[in-house]
Amino acid sequence: MTTLSVTSLAQSLGEIPPDNIVFGHSEAMQAVRSRLSRVAAANVPVLITGESGTGKDIIARLIHTLSPWKSGPYVKVNCPAIPGTLLESELFGYERGAFTGAVGSKPGRVELAHRGTLFLDEISELDMSLQSKLLQLLQDGQFCRIGAQEDKRVEVRVVCATNRQLEAEIESGTFRQDLYYRINVVNLRMPSLRERRGDIEGLCHYFLDYYNRKFNCRARPLSNEVLAVLQKYHWPGNIRELENLIKRYVILGHEEVITNDLVTREPDFITPEISLDGPISLKKLTRQCVRELERKVILKVLQHHHWNRKQAARTLGISYRALLYKIRDAGLPSNRALREQQAERTAAEQGGANRGAAAD
Ligand SMILES: Nc1ncnc2c1ncn2[C@@H]1O[C@H](COP(=O)(O)OP(=O)(O)OP(=O)(O)O)[C@@H](O)[C@H]1O
Ligand SMILES: [Mg+2]
Domains and CATH numbers, the chain: 9-191 (3.40.50.300), 197-264+339-360 (1.10.8), 281-332 (1.10.10.60)
Q: What was the pLDDT predicted at 16?
A: 31
Least confident of 170-179, 253-262, 344-353: 344-353
* Distance between Cα 60 and ligand 1 center (Å): 10
pLDDT over 60 (residue 136): yes
Q: Which of 21, 47, 54 has most ligand 1 atoms within 8 Å of its beta carbon, as the pocket-test mutant?
A: 54
Q: Point out the ligand 1 atom lying closest to the alpha carbon of residue 48.
A: 21
Q: Which of 9, 33, 57 has most ligand 1 atoms within 8 Å of its beta carbon, as the pocket-test mutant?
A: 57
Distance CA(170)–CA(18), nearest Å, equals 36
The tens digit of pLDDT for each residue in 186-240 reads 999 999 999 999 999 999 999 999 999 999 999 999 998 888 888 888 898 999 9
Distance CA(244)–CA(47), nearest Å, equals 27
Most confident of 12-16, 96-100, 159-163, 345-349: 159-163
Cα 341 to Cα 13, 259, 261, 348, distances in angstroms: 43, 10, 8, 10
pLDDT over 80 (residue 273): no
Q: Whose CA is nearest to atom 8 of ligand 1?
A: 55
Q: Which of 193, 239, 241, 243 has most ligand 1 atoms within 8 Å of its beta carbon, as the pocket-test mutant?
A: 239
Q: List the shell of residues around ion ligand 2, using CB closer than 5 Å.
A: 56-57
Q: Whose CA is nearest to atom 28 of ligand 1?
A: 240
pLDDT over 50 (residue 7): no
pLDDT over 90 (residue 90): yes
Q: What was the pLDDT predicted at 83?
A: 83
The pLDDT-based confidence of 293 (bands split at 50, 70, 90) is confident
pLDDT over 90 (residue 56): yes
Phi-psi region of 177 (alpha: psi -120 to 50; beta: other; left: phi over 0): alpha
Q: What was the pLDDT predicted at 5?
A: 39
Q: Is 248 exposed, middle or buried (0-12, 13-18, 19+ CB in 10 A)?
A: buried
The pLDDT-based confidence of 23 (bands split at 50, 70, 90) is confident
The tens digit of pLDDT for each residue in 298-309 reads 888 887 888 889
* Distance between Cα 292 and ligand 1 center (Å): 29
Q: Point out the ligand 1 atom lying closest to the alpha carbon of residue 60.
A: 18
Report, as an integer, the average pLDDT of 89-115.
91
* Distance between Cα 40 and ligand 2 center (Å): 19
The answer to whether residues 327 and 305 touch, using CB atoms and an 8 Å cutoff, is no
The pLDDT-based confidence of 336 (bands split at 50, 70, 90) is low
The answer to whether residues 147 and 99 touch, using CB atoms and an 8 Å cutoff, is yes
Q: What is the pTM of this model?
A: 0.75
Q: What was the pLDDT predicted at 17?
A: 40
* Distance between Cα 90 and ligand 2 center (Å): 19
Q: What was the pLDDT predicted at 142?
A: 94
The pLDDT-based confidence of 355 (bands split at 50, 70, 90) is very low
pLDDT over 90 (residue 111): yes
Amino acid residing at 325:
Y
Amino acid residing at 58:
I
Q: What was the pLDDT predicted at 191?
A: 94
Distance CA(90)–CA(350), nearest Å, equals 36
Q: What was the pLDDT predicted at 270?
A: 45
Distance CA(154)–CA(281), nearest Å, equals 60
Report, as an integer, the average pLDDT of 39-45.
91
Residues near ligand 1 (Cβ within 6 A): 21-22, 50, 52-58, 163, 239-240, 243
Q: Point out the ligand 1 atom lying closest to the alpha carbon of residue 58.
A: 18
Q: How many CB atoms sit inside 10 A of residue 350's CB?
A: 10
The pLDDT-based confidence of 1 (bands split at 50, 70, 90) is very low
Distance CA(57)–CA(217), nearest Å, equals 27
Q: What was the pLDDT predicted at 359?
A: 41
The pLDDT-based confidence of 103 (bands split at 50, 70, 90) is confident
* Distance between Cα 343 and ligand 2 center (Å): 31
Q: What was the pLDDT predicted at 338?
A: 64
* Closest ligand by atom to 18 CA: 1
pLDDT over 90, % of the chain: 51
Q: What was the pLDDT predicted at 245?
A: 93
Q: What was the pLDDT predicted at 358?
A: 43
Distance CA(63)–CA(42), nearest Å, equals 10
Q: Where are the beta strands (DSSP E) in 201-352?
A: none
Distance CA(33)–CA(24), nearest Å, equals 10
* Distance between Cα 55 and ligand 1 center (Å): 3
* Closest ligand by atom to 53 CA: 1
Q: Point out the ligand 1 atom lying closest to the alpha carbon of residue 239.
A: 12
